[in-house]
Amino acid sequence: MVRDRLLVACLCSAGMVVALQQTLVIPLLPDFPRLLDTSVQGASWLVTATLLTGAVCTPVLTRLADMVGKRRVVLVCLAAVAAGGVLGAVASSLPGAIVARAVAGAGVPLIPISVAILQEELPDGRLPARVALLSSTLAVGTAVGMPLAGVMAEALSWRAVFWFSGLAGLAMIAAVVRLVPASKGRAPGRFDVPGAVVLAAAVAALLLVITQAGAWGWTSGAVIALAAGSALATAVWITLELRVRHPLVDVRVSVRPVVLLANAGSLLIGFVMFMNLLVTSQLLQLPASTDAGLGMDSMRAGLWMTPIALSFGLFASASSPVTRRFGAQATLVAGALLLSVAYVGRIFLSDGLWQIIVASIAVSAGSAFAYAALPVVIMRAVPPWQISSANGFNNLLRSIGTSMSSAVLAAVLAAATARTAGEAVHHYRQAFEHMFLIGALVAFAAFLVTLPLIRLADRPAASSVS
């Protein structure tokens, strides 16, 4: 019992450290052009680099985890986080900082691999609750990253943010070596190198379209070429995966109704979860002279974001009894429906601090239920030797959803700015109302997509999760 608790605590802590990487630099983006002698567009690559390497490495490392051992690959992920933190702390130019962020992004696959470790090590009766807690670290860490970075940068310096990341990664390496046992089984076959290369190209091109189209222009030659290249690479990848004996991602398993619907829901839920954090941060920090902002500095806004992050963990734990009583599919569907209702509420609750925080926590509740249920749904639908790679692919789609939310928010805010007599006029309140409406519609789409899961039979492949 004590051993199991230490294992869960270790993996959850490691998951938090990895999840922090996705948002640690976001509060610092306005300062990086001055600190690193670059442009605003150049500084944005500090976020894009992490997204790209995280997306590319997720299917690769999760498949390797199934083949060579999960603890080994978890240690590789943490080593990447530690190295990225140290490199960022000593970086003196934009290229060095981008390399640091790219290296840290390789740690992203840790959470889906950790889910598979829990499936191997814990008894079935305790697994759903522990998986819910571990899965919640992705959103909790993502939410904590922004306030933590803001507070550390204000109190110490921007380099302290990177030093913290590096030291946390090193500490977790020591903990994993001590507390996480070696894997008990291995997936058969050879690693699918062609599939990995083609999927990496498809995902990288897609993320470049999502993250850079606003700056390059949606009709620019580069964006059109990347979009076409991503579509072509995806078609080639599917063809390759259907022909090889041991694919990187088993496409035949991925198109099973349960897995297909869960993956589609993951993309949509990732969008609405991250949009909640981005919009709330904007509402807190936009100047009070605008029609929507509260004019907080990064430290104060960070402190008010903390309850939102903590509520995610609480609601994820609260979802466990629902999963035990009604099943993971019902928990996922309930989370999506709650997300839609909460976003409708946000349209009308944005006039003051408490309204903003309470409405944002309501969205976090729906996100927590959905995030907690998704890995369990996937685990029940795939063979044990594919759990890491299947959850990794699900996590990849969720990451694409979060990237899309950033791009949509940037586009909506840009459209809300007009020039009158040579001066910029911002209509932020209307823009945020539009974002909340988009969030409600996307969440309702997730509800409709996942609703058939309740009617689908629960057929575990070779082992079940109770």
Tell me the pLDDT tens digit for each residue of 391-422.
Answer: 888 888 888 888 888 778 877 877 776 555 45
3-state secondary structure of 424: strand
Mean pLDDT of 176-187: 82
pLDDT (tens digit per residue) in 67-94: 888 899 999 999 999 999 999 999 988 8
Higher pLDDT, 42 or 160: 160
Contacts for 112 with CB less than 8 Å, ≥ 6 apart: 58, 62, 375, 388, 391, 392, 394, 395
Q: Does pLDDT of 457 surpass 60?
A: no
What stretch of H or E contains 423?
strand 423-426
Mean residue pLDDT of the chain comes to 84
Instruction: Tell me which of 164-168, 181-185, 277-281, 319-323 is least confident.
Output: 181-185
| CB neighbours of residue 461 within 10 Å | 16
pLDDT at 172: 95
Q: With 90 as the cut, is the pLDDT of residue 268 above it?
A: yes
Please name the helix (run of DSSP H) or strand (run of DSSP E) that holds residue 426, with its range, or none: strand 423-426
What integer pLDDT is reported at residue 13 of this predicted model?
92
Task: Please tell me the predicted confidence (pLDDT) of residue 100.
Answer: 94
| Of residues 282, 294, 228, the one with CA closest to residue 405 | 282
Total Cβ atoms within 10 A of residue 7: 20
**pLDDT confidence of residue 293:** 77
Sign of CA dihedral 310, 89, 57, 272: positive
Contact 153, 161 (CB under 8 A): yes
Unique residue bearing structure tokens 């996942």: 450
Looking at residue 310, its pLDDT comes to 82
| pLDDT over 70 (residue 269) | yes
What is the per-residue pLDDT across 37-57, written as a single tens digit (0 to 9) for each?
A: 887 677 878 887 888 888 888
pLDDT tens digit sequence for 333-387: 999 999 999 999 999 887 788 899 999 999 999 998 998 888 888 888 888 777 7
pLDDT at 165 (0 to 100): 93
Question: 122: left (phi > 0), else alpha (psi -120 to 50), else beta?
Answer: beta
What DSSP character marks residue 247?
-
- Residues 185-191: what's their mean pLDDT? 72
pLDDT recorded at residue 461: 44
Residues 6 or more apart in contact with residue 51 via CB below 8 angstroms: 22, 105, 207, 211, 399, 403
